[in-house]
Amino acid sequence: MNLSNNLKKLRKENNLSQEDLAEKLGVSRQSVSKWESGQAYPEMDKMVQLCNLFNLNIDDLLNQDIEEVNNTKQAKNNINKFIEDFLNYVTNTIDMFSSMKIKNKIKFIFEQFVIISILIILFLIIGEVLKYILAPLFSFAPDKIYYIIISIFKSLYGIICIILGVILVLHIFKTRYLDYYEIVKEDEIEEFSDEVEPEKVINNKKVKIYLEKKKEKIVIRDPKHTEYRFINALFKIFLFVVKFFVLYIGLIFSLLLICFVFGIVISFLFIKTGIFFVGTIIILISCLIINYVILKILYDFIFEHKSKKLRLALCFLLSLITCGVGIGLVSIGITKFNIVSFGDDIITEEKIIKMSDDLTLINHYGNIEYIESEDNDVKVIINSTKFNEIKYDLNDNVYSFYINHKETDILNILRDIIKDINNKQIVLYDDLNIKVYSNKSNINKINTNLAEYYNTEYYNN
């Protein structure tokens, strides 16, 4: 039996001492003490008194855990209050609308339509802005993953907009109409009293003048009493969805945190670059701190944790300043770098093309360098890097030159990049250099064909 524990909990919850409880039941304090220690049990009439006093039945008092019983009652009360508030909201809305004049009904419907339209337009604008901001952040991801991430963001944003829109419309309606209607409906504007002023003579007649007595109106606005619980429930659902959305963003920043740590470790491979290396370290450490501050803010919002905002703001501001210093050092260091079209290993390919009146040459990665020679045919020399494979398409005597990236070991690519940076040079691995050797007449004809080709393409498009 749980009588002893339940009795002790009930007495403390109701701020009663053993003497107070004993006085209410007409027993001694020692009897109450024995009941709570389990040394004795109250008689049936005292058991009934206890049940009446604490609004319980005998089974709950003897066999159930009183905390679970109270929680169950509270949950039922909350559900009942939720349903009652919702039904009151609907009832008051119907009463208000039915008591309106036709002119006021039209005005009411028009206002609701305008409010909903404004909210929809506002949400669409915010959605486009978020799309413009977030889309570039995931552009590096493969197409399938990119579209999955964007779809998740769209779904979450749509749910947030729907819930927030319903909350705003209901709240504006309640504040703008429902509260005002209830106050006016219950307000007795004026009444006449039996008290009169002394008789006055008007036009040779005695007339009694009745005084108008206005009833004093006192309006007490208490948010806890004026709010409907089901609106609060909708707001809690909205807050939950927002927290889930923030948690999703927090996971992204957690991955960025790992990337920044990895970048700091990798940057030591560029230690030979001097100022460029120092600037890179400063930028990465600053970004790491900024990322931590953002994660801390997101954590505090999700778990409703309070932290020293001034300290976070100072860390964020100092990190931005140091990041600017790092960018400046990197800019100074990068001025000492040389831009190189090709790396150490250059792939050269030579091709002889027979000249014709409609011959056209197109380089999709840059310009073509024409060099006059005595050749009647056209000699094309193509230079590219070891990571690329030279390709060309022939369509109606139009040669289109382009490159395909070879499947290369990622470690070899990283080694080459690290070596190039330590040698203070930037290599354009996607560059495609084409030199064309032919006589002057052929070169002029090829250029004329190229101009006509682009004009045709422009007008076709």
Q: Report pLDDT digits (tens) over 249-281.
A: 889 899 999 999 999 998 888 888 889 899 999
Domain boundary among 19, 45, 64: 64
Residues 270 and 364 placed together within one structural domain of the fold = no
Q: Closest by alpha carbon to 35, among 6, 68, 60, 56?
A: 6
List beta partners, residue 371: 437
The reply to whether 352 and 455 lie within a common domain is yes
Q: What is the CATH number for 27?
A: 1.10.260.40
pLDDT over 80 at 315, yes or no: yes
Q: What is the pLDDT of residue 195?
A: 45
Predicted TM-score (pTM) of this structure = 0.47
| 284-313 confidence digits (pLDDT tens) | 999 999 999 999 999 888 888 887 888 889
Q: 312 and 404: one domain? A: no
pLDDT of residue 413: 72
pLDDT at 226: 47
pLDDT tens for 220-253 read 334 444 445 655 666 677 778 788 888 888 898 9
How many CB atoms are located within 10 Å of the residue 283 CB? 22
Asked if the structure places residue 106 within a domain, the reply is no
- What does the block give as tokens for 86? 């919702």
pLDDT grade, residue 326 (50/70/90)?
very high
Say if residue 252 is in the same domain as residue 307. yes
Of 309, 336, 363, the last residue of a domain is 336
Q: Are residues 358 and 436 in the same domain?
A: yes
- Is the pLDDT confidence value at 343 over 80? no
Across 182-198, b (16+ Cβ under 10 Å) vs e yields eeeeeeeeeeeeeeeee
Contact 323, 290 (CB under 8 A): yes
Q: Are residues 366 and 397 in the same domain?
A: yes
Domain annotation covers residue 7: yes
Residue 75 has pLDDT above 70, yes or no: no
Tell me how far the alpha carbon of residue 270 is from its chain's centroid.
37
In whole angstroms, what is the distance from residue 3 CA to residue 63 CA?
Answer: 7
Convert the chain into a string of H (helix), E (strand) and C (coil).
CCHHHHHHHHHHHCCCCHHHHHHHHCCCHHHHHHHHHCCCCCCHHHHHHHHHHHCCCHHHHHHCCHHHHHHHHHHHHHHHHHHHHHHHHHHHHHHHHHHCCHHHHHHHHHHHHHHHHHHHHHHHHHHHHHHHHHHHHHCCCCHHHHHHHHHHHHHHHHHHHHHHHHHHHHHHHHHHHHHHHHHHHHCCCCEEEEEECCCEEECCEEECCEEEECCCCCCCCCHHHHCCHHHHHHHHHHHHHHHHHHHHHHHHHHHHHHHHHHHHHHHHHHHHHCHHHHHHHHHHHHHHHHHHHHHHHHHHHHHCCCCCHHHHHHHHHHHHHHHHHHHHHHHHHHCCCEEECCCCCEEEEEEEECCCCCCEEEECCCCEEEEECCCCCEEEEEEEECCEEEEEEEECCEEEEEEEECCCCHHHHHHHHHHHHHCCEEECCCCCEEEEEECHHHHHHHHHHHHHHHHHHHHHC
Residues of the chain with pLDDT > 70: what percent? 78
pLDDT band at 429 (very low <50, low <70, confident <90, very high): low
The answer on 292 and 380 residing in a single domain is no
In a domain, 454, yes or no: yes
Mean pLDDT of the chain: 77
Give me the number of domains the chain comprises.
Answer: 3
Residues 331 and 264 in one domain: yes
**pLDDT category, 180, cuts 50, 70, 90?**
low
In a domain, 96, yes or no: no
Report strand pairing: 425-427 vs 338-340.
parallel
Task: Give percent of the chain with pLDDT exceeding 90.
Answer: 12
Does residue 212 form part of some domain? no
Q: What is the pLDDT of residue 293?
A: 93
Task: Output the CA–CA distances (angstroms, integers) from residue 62 to 35, 41, 44, 334, 433, in the order listed.
Answer: 12, 10, 12, 81, 93
Same domain, 358 and 422: yes
Pair (358, 330) in one structural domain:
no
pLDDT at residue 197, as a whole number = 46
If asked whether residues 298 and 367 sit together in one domain, one would say no
Last residue of some domain: 41, 64, 87?
64
Domain containing residue 28: 3-64
Q: In this structure, are 285 and 366 located in the same domain? A: no
